[in-house]
A and B are shown apart, each in its own frame.
Chain A
């Protein structure tokens, strides 16, 4: 069964460093998302991406964050200068259709980011 994959599973970085989290969405999917979950809290939407551009972003997704689809398979989230409060689990998700409000999102296993 097709699945969303993410690498690395765990990333430890120092405050102020740049990190890139990588995702490979399901191959025939058209919409891509990043969510994050701070430890003990609920999952929060960060950004959605379609047709090589951001469709929507939350207030969390400030200038420190960027997303890119560098090739036909990968989808990345970059944090330019990490802060302690960026420590969280980051989930990538993808969905199949244009009518995305009616279609299931499939989540990857997550990347646990620890900023020290």
Chain B
């Protein structure tokens, strides 16, 4: 099946700093989602971004499907950005009905 790798595994920032999280995937995809898992364990949808660039406030994401990677940018980080960030993709082909394969996540800690 498709492999998803995220980097870095851990990231520690001071409030106000910017960061870039990366998601590499092993096969072509027509869907990619970014999630934030908050300290209560909830998965919050951040972006649905099969290709191109999207922005939502201080967060933006870019997917370059032809090169099999996606980037999540966090600007002016706040302590509430802390948590785990996951990317997830479905298989591009085959008979799967959209199951998402998740990466291992990037643990982000933002200090005040």
A89-B41 contact in complex given A42-B105, A101-B92, C-beta closer than 8 Å: yes
Interchain CB contact (< 8 A) of A50 among B88, B91, B97, B102: B97
A56-B97 contact in complex given A102-B31, A105-B33, A106-B45, C-beta closer than 8 Å: yes
CB-CB contacts below 8 Å: A94-116 with B:
95, 100-107, 109-110, 112
Complex contacts, B43 vs chain A, CB 8 Å: 43, 91, 107, 109-110
Beta-carbon contact of A48 and B99 below 8 Å: yes
Cβ of A44 < 8 Å from any Cβ of B? yes
CB-CB contacts below 8 Å: A56-108 with B:
56, 58, 89, 91, 93, 95, 100-107
Instruction: Give the interface size bracket for A toward B.
Output: 20 to 34
Instruction: Give the interface size bracket for B toward A.
Output: 20 to 34
A105-B102 contact in complex given A43-B43, A43-B86, A89-B41, C-beta closer than 8 Å: no
Beta-carbon contact of A110 and B99 below 8 Å: no
Whole-angstrom CA separation of A103 from B21 in the bound complex: 23
A101-B96 contact in complex given A43-B43, A107-B45, C-beta closer than 8 Å: yes
A33, A89, A101, A102 pick with most chain B CB within 10 angstroms: A101
Complex contacts, B86 vs chain A, CB 8 Å: 42-43
Whole-angstrom CA separation of A43 from B95 in the bound complex: 21
Beta-carbon contact of A112 and B45 below 8 Å: no
Complex contacts, B88 vs chain A, CB 8 Å: 43
- Report 10 cross-chain contacts, Cβ distance below 8 Å, ordered by A residue: A43-B43, A45-B99, A45-B100, A50-B97, A102-B31, A103-B98, A104-B33, A107-B35, A109-B42, A112-B41
